[in-house]
Amino acid sequence: MEKHTYIPQGVCARKIEFEIEDGKLHNVKFTGGCDGNTKAISKLLEGADAAQTAEILKGNLCGVKGTSCADQLAKGIMEALR
C-alpha cells in the first residue's frame, strides 16, 4: 500500500494520512478537526474508490472557511493520484 500524508490548509485538522492500493482508499486518519465527523468520514471511505471520492468531496465547505476537512482530503487524494 502506498501511504500518503497531506498537510491541510484553512481547516482545524492539522494532518491527513491515508493509503491507496489498487485505486482504493484505506486507513484514512485525520489529526485534529471535529473528532466525530472525521472518524465517520474515515469509516465511510474505507475501501472507496480514491478518484471518485475526490470528485464527491471536492468543494465541500465548512462555514465561511472556503474549504473543509473533506475538501482538503479531496485535494490530498488528487495530489496523490498525480
Report pLDDT digits (tens) over 38-65.
999 999 999 999 999 999 999 999 999 9
Residue 14's alpha-carbon distances to 36, 37, 41, 67, in angstroms, are 16, 15, 16, 14
pTM, rounded to two decimals? 0.95
* pLDDT band for position 79 (cuts 50, 70, 90): very high
**What length is written for the chain?**
82
Give the residue extent of every domain in the chain. Answer: 2-81
3-state secondary structure the chain: CEEEEECCCCCCEEEEEEEEECCEEEEEEEEECCHHHHHHHHHHHCCCEHHHHHHHHCCCCCCCCCCCHHHHHHHHHHHHHC
pLDDT tens per residue, range 10-46: 999 999 999 999 999 999 999 999 999 999 999 999 9
What is the pLDDT, as a whole number, of residue 38? 96
Cell of 34: 471535529
